[in-house]
């Protein structure tokens, strides 16, 4: 049993330690990649540079203690010091690319919302379901009564599935607790799950998901809840180092631009980098706020305007697009990826894994949707799901590309050409996933 100390006591959570398929060897030589997509280069990709994958044919990697020490052709890498005595793995002509960086997920939740799925099919809108007590508040009700063991088990199962599709790093948000004990429980679970290193987790505090039901019944309930967040919860989260980021759902039925700014500024004062759910259901000005606050990302963006896109293009705030959400909800309007790319914005892709609007852990499926619905090329989609996702999580110096000095995070696909990864939609062609040089997924 592990304990995390806080000002309000201890939070006991038992973490199952998975037995890895392979240990981290001192030196490992990976060879036989027909296409090795390195995405080498500094900084995020914008505009035409999203197409630059820096593909090495007959590629190889040399890995020592979980870090890449050599990358290039097989002939070159085999000539490097230590290559001759390294443990060798020949991939037999498979395609290798950086592990996917899924920069927007809601990892911890108690159950599906399959009952709402039928309502959506029958024509009920997202907002209609929410007004009847469904949606986010439905997940809140379920999580508050769930046991720690059940939440842990569900999250571990999801992490295993993430790895099976080639994902090596995720961002995980709270936001299904919406009271102090439940939000802290989610964030503590993020921290302890990250310690077992199956997949790297960047933790985000999303206490401002919606106003919880018990506050909606009070006069000035929203203001009271925001005060709880800014004066009590955010300081506690920061003191216990439970999150890196602070996020707000800025939209109709959630929080206004002014309220979002108040919460994000409070988070920033305590060292939490802003992020925003922006322009999903309505245009609120959240994108402009994200740019103003220097947010790491603003996500969704289906209702974004030309002015918003120009602002993003002049900033370092990442435009994270979530086509799985639009697909699952049966919406016809997707975020304008082509316009964002042409404007020069930093575009990333993520699953938005959550029980209500995007119940998928498959980044390859997100690539397929990006290609068919957002009109992105396969190369652009892969870049958006790797190095640009890493940039959205402030981790581009360590992950997102295959370069000397970076973590050996990569995925191996049983395809002849990288373009087949999104081409085979709904299929999983990932056969191996490595995190810091360790196998975290392998097909039987």
- Digit-coded pLDDT (tens) for 44-64: 999 999 999 999 999 999 999
Q: What distance in Å separates the CA atoms of residue 171 and residue 204, rounded to the nearest whole number?
A: 7
What token pair was written down for 384? Answer: 């958006």
pLDDT value of residue 416: 94
Residue 436's region, left for phi above 0, alpha for psi from -120 to 50, else beta, is left
Token digits of residue 269: 């004062």
Q: Are 192 and 154 in contact (CB under 8 A)?
A: no
Look at residue 5 and tell me whether its pLDDT is greater than 80: no
pLDDT score for 128: 78
* Residue pointed to by tokens 């490992």: 28
Helix (H, G, I), strand (E, B) or coil at 175: coil
What secondary structure letter does DSSP report for 358? B
User: Are the C-beta atoms of 440 and 198 separated by less than 8 Å?
Assistant: yes
Q: How large is the average pLDDT for residues 217-240?
A: 96
C-alpha 319/C-alpha 300 separation (Å) is 8
19 — pLDDT class (breaks 50, 70, 90): very low
Q: Give Rg (Cα) of the chain.
A: 21
| DSSP, res 99 | P
Look at residue 17 and tell me whether its pLDDT is greater than 80: no
| Mean pLDDT over the full length of the chain | 93
Reply yes or no on whether the pLDDT at 22 is more than 60: no
pLDDT-derived band at 43 (thresholds 50, 70, 90) equals: confident
Element (H, E) at 274: strand 273-278
For the cut 90, the answer to whether the pLDDT of residue 91 exceeds it is yes
Tokens representing residue 196 in the block: 């077992």
The CA distance from 18 to 245, in Å, is: 27
Q: Are strands 55-64 and 27-37 parallel, antiparallel or unpaired?
A: antiparallel
pLDDT at 20 (0 to 100) = 42
If you average pLDDT over residues 110-122, what whole number do you get?
87
Q: Could you count the other beta carbons within 10 Å of the beta carbon of residue 262?
A: 19
Condensed to tens digits (0 to 9), the pLDDT of residues 166-199 reads 999 999 999 999 999 999 999 999 999 998 878 9
Encoded tokens for 173: 């948000």
CB 268: neighbour CB atoms within 10 A?
16
9/131 Cα distance (integer angstroms): 36
* DSSP per-residue letters across 431-443: EEEEETTEEEEE-
Using one digit for the tens of pLDDT, what is the confidence trace for 353-390?
Answer: 999 999 999 999 999 999 999 999 999 999 999 999 99
């Amino acid at each position: 049993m592990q304990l995390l100390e806080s000002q309000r006591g201890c939070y006991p959570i038992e973490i199952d330690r998975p037995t890895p398929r392979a240990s981290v060897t001192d030196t490992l030589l990976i060879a036989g990649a027909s296409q090795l997509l390195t995405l080498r280069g500094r900084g995020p990709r914008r505009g035409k540079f999203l197409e630059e994958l820096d593909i090495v044919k007959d590629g190889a990697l040399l890995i020592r203690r979980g870090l890449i020490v050599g990358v290039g052709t097989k002939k070159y890498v085999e000539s490097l010091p230590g290559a001759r005595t390294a443990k060798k793995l020949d991939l037999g002509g498979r395609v290798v690319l950086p592990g996917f960086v899924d920069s927007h997920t809601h990892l911890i939740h108690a159950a599906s919302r399959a009952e709402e799925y039928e309502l959506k099919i029958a024509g009920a809108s997202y907002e209609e379901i929410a007004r009847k007590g469904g949606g986010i508040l439905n997940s809140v009700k379920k999580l508050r009564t769930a046991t720690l063991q059940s939440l842990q088990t569900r999250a571990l199962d999801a992490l295993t599935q993430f790895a099976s599709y080639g994902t090596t790093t995720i961002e995980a948000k709270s936001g299904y607790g919406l009271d102090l004990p439940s939000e802290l429980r989610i964030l503590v679970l993020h921290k302890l799950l990250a310690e077992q290193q199956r997949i790297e987790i960047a933790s985000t505090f999303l206490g401002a998901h919606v106003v919880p039901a018990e506050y909606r019944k009070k006069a000035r309930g929203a203001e009271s809840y925001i005060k709880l967040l800014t004066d009590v919860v955010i300081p506690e989260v920061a003191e216990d180092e439970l999150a890196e980021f602070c996020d707000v759902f800025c939209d109709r039925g959630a929080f206004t631009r002014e309220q979002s700014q108040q919460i994000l500024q409070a988070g920033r004062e305590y060292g939490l980098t802003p992020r925003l759910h922006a322009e999903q259901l309505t245009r609120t000005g959240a994108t402009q706020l994200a740019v103003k606050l220097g947010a790491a990302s603003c996500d969704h963006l289906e209702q974004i305007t030309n002015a918003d896109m120009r602002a993003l293009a002049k900033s370092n705030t990442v435009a994270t697009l979530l086509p799985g959400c639009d697909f699952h909800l049966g919406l016809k309007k997707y975020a304008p990826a082509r316009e964002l790319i042409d404007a020069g914005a930093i575009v990333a892709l993520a699953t938005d894994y959550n029980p209500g609007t995007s119940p998928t852990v498959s980044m390859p499926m997100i690539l397929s949707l990006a290609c068919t619905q957002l009109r992105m090329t396969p190369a652009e989609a892969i870049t958006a799901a790797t190095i640009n996702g890493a940039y959205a999580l402030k981790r581009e110096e360590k992950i997102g590309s295959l370069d000397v000095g970076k973590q050996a995070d990569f995925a191996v696909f049983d395809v002849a050409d990288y373009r087949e990864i999104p081409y085979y939609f709904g299929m999983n062609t990932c056969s191996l996933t490595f995190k810091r040089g360790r196998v975290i997924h392998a097909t039987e």
